[in-house]
Structure 1
Amino acid sequence: MKHDKTELLRQHRRNKRMMLFAAAAMLLLSGVIAGWWFVPLFALGLWLSHEAWFSDHLFYSPRSDYHFALAGDWDRTASIESGQIKLAGPLPAADTLVFSCRIESNLAGHFLDPWLEISGQRFHFERGSRGQRHWVMQQTNEMATAENIKVHTHHCQLHGPLHITGFRNPDFSEQRLLVLAPHADDAELAAFGLYQAAKDVMIVTLTQGEVEAGHYETLGLDPAQASRLKGRLRTWDSMAIPLWGNVPQTSCLQLGYYCMQLQSMQAAPEQSFGSRTSGECDTRTARQWNSLPLPGDAQGNPTWRNLVADLAAIVRHFRPQVIILPHPQIDPHPDHQATSHALQAALQEISDRPASHFLLYANHLHNNDRWPMGPAGGGITLPPRSSAGQAERFWLRPISDAAQLDKAMALAMHHDLTTPQPWKRAFRRKVQQLLAARRWPRTGENEFFRKAVRAGELFSVHTTLDAED
């Protein structure tokens, strides 16, 4: 990971403090010039402006380019004229298309989210965007036959040339899938639509997710008791909620390791790392519903050696054709990165590797807390990236309206996604609804109800999972 999110947050807060000092100076100046009665009104205006237009956690300039190297099956170049994408001819067959061109926000696009619409699907970008962007679509019948594609832009303009990259992927839902979820909700956030449609799935959750249990302290519990309760609830979530997506409990495994401890385990493979908050140090307390005996069951020690051995045993037993897991170069969460590293170590212990493909997902970004941008049900853009890295393939698995509702309801079953939002966040949303025309779904208050419930689920497709991945 090129930029550590903690450092980016530190820089962001430092910039906010500088803005606060500048605002204080402006308030003093306004009091001297216009009178002190004006100061409260000016302060209120500054605060509302901040909440509406300057509170997004973007740790990069929206005027910068996104950089991706695409390993597509074909590439085409088109022009943009009079609201149409002019093609030289019908596009070749593909299941996933990545469109790439330069976008430039107009004046309104600095205050309202800019977006474009193609074939009834909308793609949103950062306010003030001015640079190379990429959006992902399933190829439609219109695109396969037409020479011109209508595109409607709002609060922005597109500047050609426009590059279209096509990807031909197998239908991975027809294959045997192993979904690795660092926490109880990650499988649903990243791949509910995929695993709901799949014929043969196993879902493995690595941690109990017991940290940040302050909400449960309101029940009169001390911090350790609240943490243990949250761990029990999320363990239950990991085993029960997949049934809503047609995956029975017998196809789910909970490994019971402890949240935010996986990287420490990796650094000292033989050492046990118990919970930071619950006081527990035995993974077996969370494995009571598992249908498959695992090496870590013997003593219940939360060690890296046991985690790797557990994953190796699962792969040997289930023999997945496709493994779905976090993208270690895009998703910065420590447990998500450690999950990928643990699988790499487990695969090294298996001489006959059954998996032919790895589908990588990102439920978190280090530089943008709003991606994917725009309301629920919209399209997906590629995430912001400052350097291209190795060439990648992508697969967009489309999700019907009915499946999107099912996914939202699955998220609503997760205890960690239904705790009340802080009053400041709720107020900020009201301000942004009024002044910035933003919308959130009624299915849930958590931001993931907006970000994760989309017209498709996006995966980076790999045939190997090496250290550099």
Structure 2
Amino acid sequence: MIRNHTYPLAPDLSLDVNIDEHGRLVFAAEQPELLAEPWSWFLEVEYQATSRNALPAIVTWSNGQALYTQYFEAGQAGKRLLSLTGVREPGDVRIELQRCCLIGKTTLLGFRARALEQDGPVLIVAPHPDDAELAAFGLYRKQKDNVWIVTVTAGETQKRLDRQYIPSLDKDSKSAGRRKGMIRSWNSATTPLLAGVPFERNIMLGYFNDTLPALLADPASRVPSTMDEQLRPGDFRGLNRMALSTDPAPENCGEHLLRDLQALIEHIKPGVLVVTHPEVDPHPDHVATARACALAMQQSSHRPRRVLMYANHLAGERGFPRGPAHAAAGIWPWNRNDSVLGSWQLYSEYLDMELQREKVLALDSMHDLRASLKLDKRLKRWFRRLRSGVPLAEWKDYGAHDYFQTHIKAHEVFAVVSATAFIAGLV
């Protein structure tokens, strides 16, 4: 089955590339000076899987060493972007094909990776506790002296009492929801400390899980928590070291959410905003978080220079980025050449092995990512791995949750647009 991934991209550099018999990249035209500034590199290839079940893979070699492996869909063919960020020089790259072949044209796409700190503070807005860690732990670890992390909701929804973090701890849903919100707010406040981000720059807004679309639909109305009508956002702000604009009497309503976000933007004055991609990530709270940021920026006296967007949920896609932990990560599946946000640049943060290990600890510190699998699910997972063609020893079981495979990768990838385009597309 042919399935092309296409994107509304505007690369700074596009070079035709040939692949020689040894897998080395050979530029069709004279190679310009590429190392004068940092770049995010992607190789646009067209692959053809040679197995219906085993995962096709491309190993990237640089400076004589295997740097990372990127996995694609089994039984398919089409255009994909191969991540190359982290190589010393594109001209030094050699690729090794496993369970696939390349057909058609190959193009090297380059995006100038302007240093984030050059634009001022970096503000990461996470819809729920753990979203910042999943999408951008490596980024905020590198920006620890320059980053602020704002978590919008407490993530208090507890759908089943038998899935409490500590079995039988709470006897009713109200108590379980409150306790879950408290521990996840504590996670949001403390996990960034592992990266060196101080308490003062970790902020919990405490709004309620699964209510953000309703808050924006009718900003003046208070929306109760699905767990307990008596809960207030202030119940989950106890660890904040910074006063919020609505602290005197916070309510779970859109007016308060937008007021808090606007005040934070004007106080922090970020040059870069990092938030969920409203077109790629379909989670209703994630879409609403992006729109709330756009509305707040529209009213703010300060606007960031650019917006980096991530996606932790994908519609109809399981196990992306594919392959075991420590593999390469590409850009999400997408098959449109247009976007309400205009054309995108791409920004790829390369995580070396030590930083990936630090990210494992960060995810493990998040209570909501601590999962246990029943026997039938463990057997299904084992069978999928067996069919993948990837040696079983390469699947690192740092945790039972799928995120310990999909989000412990060599790259964190973001789509980039200007703040002006972001606001125009969402407001």
The equivalent residue for 2:31 is 90
Inter-partner Cα distance in structure 2 for 1:169 and 1:327: 19
Q: Verify: 1:366 aligned to 2:284, yes or no.
A: no
Structure-to-structure mapping, 1:2-401, within 5 angstroms: 63-84=2-23, 85-88=25-28, 89-90=30-31, 92-93=33-34, 95-106=39-50, 109-119=51-61, 120=66, 121-138=68-85, 140-144=87-91, 146=92, 149-173=93-117, 175-198=120-143, 199-214=145-160, 215-216=163-164, 218-353=168-303, 355-389=304-338, 390-401=342-353
Q: State the Cα deviation string for residues 301-349 of structure 1 (Å, max 9, x = none).
A: 1000100000001111111111111011111111111111111111111
The equivalent residue for 1:413 is 365
Query: Which amino acid in the other structure matches residue 317 of structure 2?
Result: N
Query: Which amino acid in the other structure matches residue 131 of structure 2?
Result: D
In the TM superposition, residue 258 of structure 1 has moved relative to its aligned partner by: 0.6
Q: State the Cα deviation string for residues 273-317 of structure 1 (Å, max 9, x = none).
A: 121123443111011121222222222210001000000011111
Tell me if structure 2 keeps the 8 A contact 1:323–1:357: yes
Q: Verify: 1:452 aligned to 2:407, yes or no.
A: yes
Inter-partner Cα distance in structure 2 for 1:126 and 1:274: 42
In structure 1, the gaps of 5 or more residues are 1-61
Query: Which amino acid in the other structure matches residue 66 of structure 1?
Result: H
Inter-partner Cα distance in structure 1 for 2:412 and 2:220: 37
Inter-partner Cα distance in structure 1 for 2:80 and 2:309: 21
Change (3 A) 1:67 1:309: same
Inter-partner Cα distance in structure 2 for 1:441 and 1:393: 32
Q: State the Cα deviation string for residues 144-176 of structure 1 (Å, max 9, x = none).
A: 4x5xx4221111111131011111121215641
Inter-partner Cα distance in structure 2 for 1:292 and 1:220: 31
Tell me if structure 1 keeps the 8 A contact 2:158–2:176: no
SS in 1 for 2:84: strand
* TM-score with structure 2 setting the length: 0.90
Which one has a bigger Cα radius of gyration?
1
Inter-partner Cα distance in structure 1 for 2:159 and 2:194: 25
Tell me if structure 2 keeps the 8 A contact 1:326–1:340: yes
Tell me if structure 1 keeps the 8 A contact 2:129–2:188: yes
Change (3 A) 1:402 1:280: farther
Q: State the Cα deviation string for residues 432-461 of structure 1 (Å, max 9, x = none).
A: 233434553232111111111111211111
Inter-partner Cα distance in structure 2 for 1:405 and 1:92: 34
Query: Which amino acid in the other structure matches residue 183 of structure 1?
Result: H
Inter-partner Cα distance in structure 2 for 1:86 and 1:378: 24
Identity of matched residues, %: 28
Tell me if structure 1 keeps the 8 A contact 2:343–2:417: no
Change (3 A) 1:90 1:115: same
Tell me if structure 1 keeps the 8 A contact 2:42–2:109: yes
SS in 2 for 1:300: coil
Tell me if structure 2 keeps the 8 A contact 1:137–1:396: no
Query: Which amino acid in the other structure matches residue 78 of structure 2?
Result: G
Match among 434, 442, 448 for residue 397 of structure 2: 442
Query: Which amino acid in the other structure matches residue 315 of structure 2?
Result: H
As a proportion of its length, which structure holds more helix? 1
Tell me if structure 2 keeps the 8 A contact 1:409–1:443: no
Change (3 A) 1:67 1:435: closer
